[in-house]
Structure 1
Amino acid sequence: MPFTQRRIAKAAVATSVAALAFAACVTASSAAPKEDSLSARPGPDGTTFWDVYEQPPETAKPGDIYWIQPRSDAPRGARGWNVVYVSEIQPGVKKYVSGEIYVPTTRSDAPRDMVLWNHETTGLADSCAPSRRSLGEDRVPAIRDLLGQGRVVTMSDYPGQALPGPSHYMAGQVNARASLDVLRAVRNLPELNASNRFVEYGWSQGGQTTMHVESIARTYAPEFEGLGAALIAPAVRIRELTGNSMQHPELAGYVISTLPGIKAAYPHLRYGDFLTAEAMEQLPVLADGCFDIWDSASTLRDPYQPGAMSPDGPWWKALTAVDDFRPAGTMPFAVYQGSADTTTPVELTARERTALCQAGSSVDYHEFDGLDHESVVPEAAARFPGWAADRFAGEAAPSNCPQN
């Protein structure tokens, strides 16, 4: 989703951050101790790990592992790997997708439960994908606490990020399938001793993925038992969010960034039906840095065609199709929302809370006065590990759903 102005100000350093991440990944394989080796095929050192241009064979199954690469930046007391695996991103369509897996180094005789992280907007260029960047202190909120609880923590880059091919940014179910399939990849590494139980959480774009995962988990991946899900400033319904962003010139870069992901899911769409010629000249900028488009498109005077969001137009229909899902009511939810969030406003998150409650989920909603799209994340990170631990322990999920 579009970032706050403070985050946009950080965009100028995004490229240098990515460059540092490359260095970390390039040295990861050679620096990793032998005990980091797993039974899966080892991939090459460095960034060539992500140069996977072939397609999965017809016999491939979702979760099959193409290869893995040890990381050197796992938190203390843990090991980590990059992984390339098979995902059935749409019915009958299989692609290779990349992701990450982290596991504690401490011994566990019992199977380890899994925590699935669904990441936020990172930029469309392959170099911006999470697995190509250093883990750092806060790229994955609360990961150290979750590993400290003995969990396996895993995450997908989503289709087309990091690997060749179009990014499916904000394409909803496509990314949810990839997230569920990284759980299958973990289970295909018997050395990790992972259970079939998981709790998931996601921020911004990852909130959309998280809700789609809950919606399809029992039908797409019935072998797993989802015990709970948490939303951090969730950006869920892309049609309304796009329409809202079109009213703010400074968010033109976000709107332009959204279109390739929707077109990847619906290839018949044409950019010229949505963007003016002036705005279409911005499309190549998406390959330059992670957030350059936010700055370069902010000065556009007339970026959208008059009928770009016409209810009978192709883009409106495609965005509506992405949004056409309902919560299954299969998991309890925790929701963390800032009252000052203008990226995903309170009123939009309130609608998702209502939908979850109506579906039968317990919803523990937390609204933080004065916090915005970014500043709410540390609050969520402080609370989520305890909430997740209670779900794994079988404690009754708290709920403050409004009474009818």
Structure 2
Amino acid sequence: MAVRRSIRKTLVQGFGLATALVSVMVAAPAAHAGAIYPAPDRDGFYYAAGNLGGAANGDVLNSRPMPSPWPGASVTQILFRSTNSVGAPIPAVTTLISPGPGPRPLLSYQPFVNSLGMQCAPSHSIFDGSMKESAAFPLLLARGWAIAVPDHLGPDSAYGAARMGGQITLDGIRAVKRFAPAGLGDSPVGLAGYSGGAMSTGFAAALAPDYAPELPIVGVAEGGVPVNPGKMAIEAGDSPQALFGLGFAVAIGMEREYPAEINLDQSLTPFGFGMRERIANSCVDDIISVGANHSISDVFHPGMENDPTMIRTMHENALEMVPELIRAPLYEWHGGSDQVPLNLAMATAGRYCAAGTPVQFDIIPGADHLGAILPGSANAMNYLADRFAGRPAPSNCH
């Protein structure tokens, strides 16, 4: 049971990833509530003042020191301006953890959040003990690195909106560099994330040449990347899935991010309405529990999976489909027995190779999605250390 609980806390984007998306209905608003947004954060720090519209992407809107869980490290939260998927300005938050003022390497780490409630965001989970990945932060601080941890699901916890997550990640790096007390204005930048966090990491790297060309991104490390959630959903079909709740949560998150284009109301079954209400403010463990062993037909009426508007929004958030390519040196790893399709990840990495990007792609033999995390993460941090040191990037592109 302990192993099962650990998997629920750590395993992300697996068997049921985005299975709900294939039945999203794109239609005129129905008589129901439409998109259900999370309960607002009770902390007023998360809300920008009237200067949001006049700020540029990455401008610092507010900051505050936080108590540090790590002796000798300072922790600062920064509110900044970013942009959502349809180009509107939004406030976003990143948490900067540093062993001292720069200059020093800056790693932007995107955790696998996979949640719909604001209380699940990294800026909370770092401090309440629920972010398992933070156990590795002392090792990174010991290397002398500063770590930026963005709330990359945005102000509505729009799980699945990976393009926005990439933009928030890049603007969070800008904000950290513009935050003078940190002394990181001239720091080289690395990006890292696993699974759900790798989606935002990959988009940040792919969007950077056009969205934030001034950022000195020297290396990217991503693992267990779901490069096309929609394709995974189609392959999963209508069979019951242990992690179906995660897929349904993606549908809810995408409806939040694209309320004018995606409307679930007319396609939801009565059970589906109830499930949407129940998990609208949930973190990953509860989402998995509520959705366990359900299937598409439990929550959606059939049809609409071929709607062109729905397909377009899915493709806009799929690394396999977008025209933007990762150009910075890339380390990518994947379990040989990962439930997230290895072939799709390798094919997408092949696109980067064809464009001239040095890619080191490692397969962890026999590892499933959970088992690949630790061995690949150790390799990833060594890879980024070499990039920060200016060593030539390896590549096993064919």
Q: TM-score, normalised by structure 1?
A: 0.80
1:222 is the counterpart of 2:216: no
1:80 is the counterpart of 2:75: yes
Q: Secondary structure at 1:134's aligned position in 2? A: helix
1:287 is the counterpart of 2:294: no
Aligned partner of 1:102 among 89, 93, 97: 97
2:14 equivalent in structure 1: none
Q: Match for 1:279: what amino acid? A: G
Deviation, 1:138, is 4.2
Structure 1 unmatched ranges of 5 or more:
12-45
1:93 equivalent in structure 2: 88
Distance of 1:144 and 1:372 partners within structure 2: 26
Deviation, 1:370, is 2.2
Change (3 A) 1:260 1:303: closer
Q: Secondary structure at 1:97's aligned position in 2? A: strand
1:315 is the counterpart of 2:310: yes
2:147 equivalent in structure 1: 153
Deviation, 1:155, is 1.9
Change (3 A) 1:52 1:258: same
Deviation, 1:88, is 2.2
**Deviations, residues 19-45 of structure 1 (Å, cap 9, x unaligned):** xxxxxxxxxxxxxxxxxxxxxxxxxxx
Distance of 1:380 and 1:126 partners within structure 2: 29
Please say if residues 315 and 322 of structure 2, whose CA atoms lie closer than 8 Å, have aligned partners that are also in contact.
no
Q: Secondary structure at 1:207's aligned position in 2? A: helix
Distance of 1:47 and 1:335 partners within structure 2: 38
Distance of 2:49 and 2:304 partners within structure 1: 35
Distance of 1:99 and 1:325 partners within structure 2: 26
Please say if residues 115 and 287 of structure 2, whose CA atoms lie closer than 8 Å, have aligned partners that are also in contact.
no
Aligned partner of 1:380 among 373, 376, 382: 376
**Deviations, residues 191-238 of structure 1 (Å, cap 9, x unaligned):** 211125211011111211122112111211122111111111112222
Deviation, 1:399, is 0.9
Please say if residues 65 and 185 of structure 1, whose CA atoms lie closer than 8 Å, have aligned partners that are also in contact.
yes
Q: Match for 1:262: what amino acid? A: M
**What pairs up with 1:203-218 in 2 under 5 angstroms?**
203-218=194-209
Q: Secondary structure at 1:231's aligned position in 2? A: strand
1:249 equivalent in structure 2: 240
Deviation, 1:292, is 1.8
Please say if residues 60 and 86 of structure 1, whose CA atoms lie closer than 8 Å, have aligned partners that are also in contact.
yes
Change (3 A) 1:391 1:9: closer
Q: Match for 2:193: what amino acid? A: G
Please say if residues 208 and 237 of structure 1, whose CA atoms lie closer than 8 Å, have aligned partners that are also in contact.
no
1:269 equivalent in structure 2: 262
Q: Match for 1:113: what amino acid? A: P
Please say if residues 49 and 69 of structure 1, whose CA atoms lie closer than 8 Å, have aligned partners that are also in contact.
no
Deviation, 1:121, is 3.1
Q: Match for 2:202: what amino acid? A: M
Q: Match for 2:276: what amino acid? A: L
1:65 equivalent in structure 2: 60
Distance of 2:86 and 2:293 partners within structure 1: 40
Q: Match for 2:341: what amino acid? A: P
Q: Secondary structure at 1:335's aligned position in 2? A: strand
Distance of 2:216 and 2:126 partners within structure 1: 30
Please say if residues 198 and 226 of structure 1, whose CA atoms lie closer than 8 Å, have aligned partners that are also in contact.
yes
Change (3 A) 1:62 1:7: same
1:115 is the counterpart of 2:107: yes
Change (3 A) 1:177 1:230: same
Deviation, 1:330, is 1.8
Please say if residues 101 and 152 of structure 1, whose CA atoms lie closer than 8 Å, have aligned partners that are also in contact.
yes
1:333 equivalent in structure 2: 330
Distance of 1:85 and 1:245 partners within structure 2: 39
Deviation, 1:5, is 6.0
Between stretches 119-128 and 243-252, larger displacement belongs to 243-252
Change (3 A) 1:274 1:242: farther
Q: CA RMSD in A?
A: 2.6
Q: Secondary structure at 1:139's aligned position in 2? A: helix
Distance of 2:132 and 2:315 partners within structure 1: 33
Q: Match for 2:334: what amino acid? A: Q
Aligned residue pairs, count: 356
**Deviations, residues 67-116 of structure 1 (Å, cap 9, x unaligned):** 223232343332112222111234641111122101113x65xx222111
1:186 equivalent in structure 2: 176
Aligned partner of 1:351 among 343, 347, 350: 347
Q: Secondary structure at 1:296's aligned position in 2? A: helix
Distance of 1:391 and 1:221 partners within structure 2: 19
Distance of 2:9 and 2:110 partners within structure 1: 22
Q: Match for 2:77: what amino acid? A: N
Please say if residues 196 and 223 of structure 1, whose CA atoms lie closer than 8 Å, have aligned partners that are also in contact.
no
Q: Match for 1:365: what amino acid? A: F
Distance of 1:143 and 1:340 partners within structure 2: 27
Please say if residues 114 and 246 of structure 2, whose CA atoms lie closer than 8 Å, have aligned partners that are also in contact.
no
Q: Match for 2:352: what amino acid? A: L
Work out which structure has the larger RCO, using CA pairs closer than 8 Å and 6 or more positions apart in sequence: 2
**What pairs up with 1:154-173 in 2 under 5 angstroms?**
154-160=148-154, 163=155, 166-173=156-163
Change (3 A) 1:281 1:314: farther
Distance of 1:262 and 1:9 partners within structure 2: 22
Please say if residues 142 and 385 of structure 1, whose CA atoms lie closer than 8 Å, have aligned partners that are also in contact.
no
2:18 equivalent in structure 1: none
1:240 is the counterpart of 2:231: yes
Change (3 A) 1:380 1:210: same
